[in-house]
Amino acid sequence: MKHFSFYIISLLCLNIFSQNKTIVAGENLTFTASYNMSGILTDLAEVTMQTSEIKTSKTTLLRLKCKATTYSKWDSFFKIRDLYESYVSPKTLTPFLYKRDINEGGYYKFMQYKFNHKTKTVQSLKKKKKKEGGFWEEKKSLSINSSTKDLVSTLYHIRNLDIDKANIGDNMDFKILFDNVENIINVRYLGKETISTNIGRKECYKLSLSVKNNDVLKGSNANLLWLTADQNKVPVYAKFKIAVGSGELKIKSATGLN
């Protein structure tokens, strides 16, 4: 169950800095995350995705915020309080600052990335709890690929793709920095499918996701994502399969769309 929210958020996860035509400030998406417990799919947590405008002394950024919180009745079993944030360019969704603050079943970790795209480097800060109490921290300077982003900004980049121009079977790789390691997530277009959701019956783009040279996500076409086939490309449904089980993500509400 460790890193439960990472698997969920990965399922909502361009190699070029394209113009943002989809994501605006004020968007609020809420999901129910379910997990297969002893053969029964059980609603375990709520996941939210929110966007907001942040003004600094030099510029204006778009804050992409993802939270995962177990429902209170499950806190005694496995309490999750996770926060993922990316601060990006509103025009290109290029990340400048990323923060990950996770607390899962007593396991705590904080990660921060400061991106310098001119030098293709990231200043990384990691904090973890010590068994004997207190915290230890580790600072690193990492070299990255010119297209490498964090997990959250990649989610929104995928929504900004011109999927309507794709052919069935087309796929694309995304480089993501996670735990100071560059990972490659492959996204494949499987076609259109109309499904019923809590925000209505929607025609959707159906995508499959896998992580190259990593067994985080299990099975062939077992990790699937449905995005509405409109300009917002809202993630409305997802299925995931990992080493310790499987689950689903279903949208509850969507407001503030473009």
pLDDT tens-digit readout, 22-77 = 999 999 999 999 988 778 889 999 999 999 999 998 899 999 999 999 999 999 98
Q: Are 125 and 149 in contact (CB under 8 A)?
A: no
Which residue matches tokens 């921290």?
Answer: 137
The range of the structural domain enclosing residue 125 comes to 4-255
Q: How far apart are CA 103 and CA 123, in angstroms?
A: 23
Q: How far apart are CA 165 and CA 151, in angstroms?
A: 24
Query: DSSP code of 174?
Result: E
Which residue matches tokens 């996860």?
Answer: 13
Q: Is the pLDDT at 212 greater than 90, yes or no?
A: no
* Nearest Cα residue to 113 out of 185, 182, 25, 24: 182
Which one of 33-37, 38-42, 95-99, 170-174 scores highest in mean pLDDT? 95-99
Which residue matches tokens 């969507």?
Answer: 254
Domain with residue 203: its CATH number is 2.40.360
What are 178-201's pLDDT values in tens digits?
A: 999 999 999 999 999 999 999 999
CA distances from 109 to 101, 124, 135 (A): 6, 13, 10
Which stretches of 119-214 are assigned E, i.e. beta strand?
121-129, 135-143, 171-178, 181-197, 200-211
Q: How far apart are CA 18 and CA 157, in angstroms?
A: 9
> Binning pLDDT at 50, 70 and 90, where does residue 18 land?
low
Q: Which residues share a beta bridge with 229?
A: none
> Binning pLDDT at 50, 70 and 90, where does residue 123 land?
very high
| Mean pLDDT, residues 137-159 | 95
Which residue matches tokens 């159906």?
Answer: 206
Q: Are 157 and 93 in contact (CB under 8 A)?
A: yes
Average pLDDT of the chain is 89
The string of DSSP codes covering 99-114 is EEEEEETTEEEEEEEE
Q: How far apart are CA 244 and CA 171, in angstroms?
A: 27
Q: How many domains does the chain have?
A: 1
Q: Which phi and psi angles does 77 have, rounded to 5°?
A: -85, -50
3-class DSSP assignment, residue 120? coil
* Nearest Cα residue to 66 out of 127, 24, 8: 8
Stronger pLDDT, 240 or 59, i.e. the higher one: 59
In our burial notation (b when 16+ CB lie closer than 10 A, e otherwise), range 187-212 reads bbbbeeeeeebebeebebbbbbbbbe
Q: Are 249 and 42 in contact (CB under 8 A)?
A: no
Q: How far apart are CA 37 and CA 151, in angstroms?
A: 27
